[in-house]
Amino acid sequence: MRMDRVLKRVESMAGEAVEFLRKLTSIPTINPPGANYRPCAEFLGEQLRDFGYDVEFIAPEPERVNVIGRMGTARPTLHFNGHIDVVPAGHGWTVDPFCGVVRDGKIFGRGTTDQKAGIAASIFAIEAIRREGVRLHGSIEQSGTVDEESGGFAGMAYLAEQGYVSRGRTDFVVITEPLNVDRICLGHRGVYWFEVKTLGRIAHGSMPFLGVNAIGKMSDFIGEIEHKLKPALGRRITAMPVEPPEARHPCININSISGGQPGTIQTQCVVDHCEAILDRRFILEEPFEEVRGEIAEILDSMARRDPEFQYELRDLMIVQPVLASADSNLVATLGGAVRDVLGTNPPLIASPGTYDQKHVMRLGHVDQCVAYGPGILHMAHQPDEYCRIDHLVDAAKVMALAAMRLCGI
């Protein structure tokens, strides 16, 4: 009966949760560069204090501010995490991306799905329990962290390294990423970001035969990636339940390329340097040493064939794949809550992209960590990004039920 009352309370608080999400969306925490983290963390902290949490701000750098709210001190401890940073709005919007427009049962704005709706859902899930006077035997933590979109190193990675989220104090972690409200995400693929620089020899543009064009050499490298490596990756497949199914293959993407002289006024020179950053997503079955070695071998092979091919390879970010156990108490409890709220058995999936589960499991050593939250996965980073209000409410109900069952009442 108490659980039923809590679910009804969640429904009655929908308007309050929507207004909170609108205000959260209106703070443009754009990354890069990492704007407005402090005011956003302070807004979250004020809301958490109002809802009975002890609040702490953790800032590895002056303007990269994380916030943690704690309610209770007993074990088990259930930690909800969401990241406050959002990617740039980009072009193609039909509404202001930072106004939190509500229309047709949806809240529009950059970060509504990815992932400020998840923060709203977890906060209002626990507030519904509190307002109903239901006492949890365990403890709840809520965190809003920074820089997830660029790796999370000043956010969840820092919290895990400093012991704020760790096996010794944390039993369960739910990261409120938007993997669709009826699914539970067990983990994600690995990431290898790297930079390749090709080195040429400058010469007069009217006599290119006296120089070596670094852009041309980069073009040769990209040709190897496009015509040899990509088809090979397409033939590999993982047993991880990655969604969408196309992402069960490893992949590689050229993130950026630059070379030559900037601007529209040019002098007549053969380009002597070119840089490209590439994003390689790898699967659980691919050891990282082989992933990196494959790139190095392509470059070495090109250098052996072409004496004028000179290059530098630099690692930028390495993220190992993670996959939580499908048999854990956390997964079973969340799954039961989804069934009770939505009437469906939740598929257990893995994410095509990385998120902060990597830091919780590999740095914090908390094995019972999954992602669950409101929002449609394919809306992340899109123009006219939105979260459906019914998804926000349903996710809050699932989180409330799971919290009561995991912590005990």
> Is the Cβ–Cβ distance between 63 and 37 less than 8 Å?
yes
> Is the Cβ–Cβ distance between 153 and 363 less than 8 Å?
no
**16 and 152 share a domain?**
yes
Interval 331-342 mean pLDDT:
98
**132 and 111 share a domain?**
yes
Among 269, 289, 319, the domain-final residue is 319
Please report where in the chains the tokens 């933590």 appear, as a residue.
141
Per-residue confidence (pLDDT) for residue 321, from 0 to 100? 96
d(CA 190, CA 358): 9
**270 and 131 share a domain?**
no
303: left (phi over 0), alpha (psi -120 to 50) or beta: alpha
d(CA 156, CA 144): 9
d(CA 384, CA 280): 28
Q: How confident is the model at residue 44 (pLDDT cuts 50, 70, 90)?
A: very high
**74 and 222 share a domain?**
no
Instruction: Name the percent of the chain lying above pLDDT 90.
Output: 98
Strand-pair category, 172-175 with 77-83 = parallel
73-102 tens-digit pLDDT: 999 999 999 999 999 999 999 999 999 999
Give Cβ neighbours of residue 301 (< 8 Å, ≥ 6 apart): none
* DSSP H or E segment with residue 78: strand 77-83
- Count CB neighbours of 177 within 10 A: 28
Q: How confident is the model at residue 27 (pLDDT cuts 50, 70, 90)?
A: very high
Per-residue confidence (pLDDT) for residue 43, from 0 to 100? 98
Q: How many structural domains are present in the chain?
A: 2
**270 and 302 share a domain?**
yes
In Å, what is the CA distance from 162 to each residue of 81, 165, 170, 232, 379? Answer: 16, 8, 13, 40, 33
**403 and 375 share a domain?**
yes
Interval 299-318 mean pLDDT:
97
134-164 tens-digit pLDDT: 999 999 999 999 999 999 999 999 999 999 9
Per-residue confidence (pLDDT) for residue 128, from 0 to 100? 98
Question: Can you give the CATH number for the domain in which 138 is found?
Answer: 3.40.630.10
Interval 22-40 mean pLDDT:
98
**121 and 237 share a domain?**
no
In Å, what is the CA distance from 339 to each residue of 269, 374, 394? Answer: 65, 15, 11
Per-residue confidence (pLDDT) for residue 1, from 0 to 100? 84
**314 and 402 share a domain?**
no
**177 and 210 share a domain?**
no
**164 and 240 share a domain?**
no
d(CA 292, CA 285): 14
d(CA 348, CA 242): 9
- Give the residue among 29, 14, 13 at the shortest CA–CA distance from 64: 29
> Is the Cβ–Cβ distance between 20 and 123 less than 8 Å?
yes
**29 and 104 share a domain?**
yes
Interval 189-215 mean pLDDT:
97
Among 298, 319, 340, the domain-final residue is 319
Question: Can you give the CATH number for the domain in which 276 is found?
Answer: 3.30.70.360
pLDDT of 270 > 90? The answer is yes
d(CA 202, CA 205): 9
Structure tokens at 17: 């949760």
> Is the Cβ–Cβ distance between 337 and 150 less than 8 Å?
no
**205 and 132 share a domain?**
no
pLDDT of 112 > 90? The answer is yes
- Give the residue among 166, 123, 147 at the shortest CA–CA distance from 65: 147
Helix and strand numbers (H, E) in the chain are 11, 16
Interval 311-325 mean pLDDT:
96
Per-residue confidence (pLDDT) for residue 105, from 0 to 100? 98
Interval 327-333 mean pLDDT:
98
Per-residue confidence (pLDDT) for residue 262, from 0 to 100? 87
371-398 tens-digit pLDDT: 999 999 989 999 999 999 999 999 999 9
Per-residue confidence (pLDDT) for residue 264, from 0 to 100? 84
Per-residue confidence (pLDDT) for residue 286, from 0 to 100? 98
d(CA 285, CA 249): 11
Among 319, 345, 363, the domain-final residue is 319
Q: How confident is the model at residue 265 (pLDDT cuts 50, 70, 90)?
A: confident
Domain that holds residue 132: 2-188+322-407
Cα 368 to chain centroid distance, Å, stands at 18
Please report where in the chains the tokens 């079973």 appear, as a residue.
332
pLDDT of 173 > 90? The answer is yes
